[in-house]
Amino acid sequence: MPRYVPQTVREYGRIYLAERLAEHGWQCFIARRSPNEDAVIAGIPADGREVRLKFHSQERRQAVRFYDRHGLDWDWEYLVISTHILEQTPVTYLLSRDDVRGPGRLEDECDGALWLQPESFSDDRFKEAWYKLDE
C-alpha cells in the first residue's frame, strides 16, 4: 500500500501539528476552517484536559486574517501559526487570545477584516512556546 504524500501547505501543516502535539502528549482532531487555516481540538484524555486551537499553516511568514471583525473568530484558546512548513525546519508560534488582543497587535485593513502581521507574532516569546498549552 503506498504511503500518503501530502500535496499542499495545509496538508503538510496538519501532519506537522499532529506530530508536534503528540510529542507533548496531546491528541488532536483537526477540521478545515478556511483555505490555509484549521480549527483544532487537542486533548489529553487521561488528564481530562482539552483546548481549542486556531491553526494557521504557511509556506513563508505572512499575516493571519481574522474574518469576523466583531467576534474575531474567538472560539479558540490559542493561536498556533506554523511558518516555512515546506522546509526542513518549520517554525511554530503559539499565542493565547490575550497575546493576540494585546495593544497594537491587530491591524484594520481591507473590508473591515483584522490582520495579525508577522512582526506581531514572530516574537521570540511566542516561538515554539508549547509550554503555553500546559498553563
The tens place of each residue's pLDDT in the chain, 135 residues long, gives: 556 556 788 888 888 999 999 999 999 998 877 766 788 999 998 899 999 998 888 888 888 887 766 655 678 899 999 999 989 999 999 999 889 888 878 877 766 678 889 999 998 999 999 999 987
Here the contacts of 26-33 (C-beta below 8 Å, separation 24 or greater) are 26/133, 28/53, 30/55
pLDDT score at 53:
92
pLDDT of residue 134: 85
Residue 107 lies in a domain: no
In a domain, 109, yes or no: no
Would 39 be classed as within a structural domain? yes
- Is residue 35 assigned to a domain? yes
Environment class of residue 31 by beta-carbon count within 10 Å: exposed (0-12), middle (13-18) or buried (19+)? exposed
Domain count, the chain: 1
Residue 106 maps to a domain: no
In a domain, 108, yes or no: no
Domain that holds residue 43: 9-62+74-101+120-134
Q: Is residue 81 part of a domain?
A: yes
Which region holds residue 48: left if phi is over 0, alpha if psi is between -120 and 50, else beta? left
Q: Is residue 94 part of a domain?
A: yes
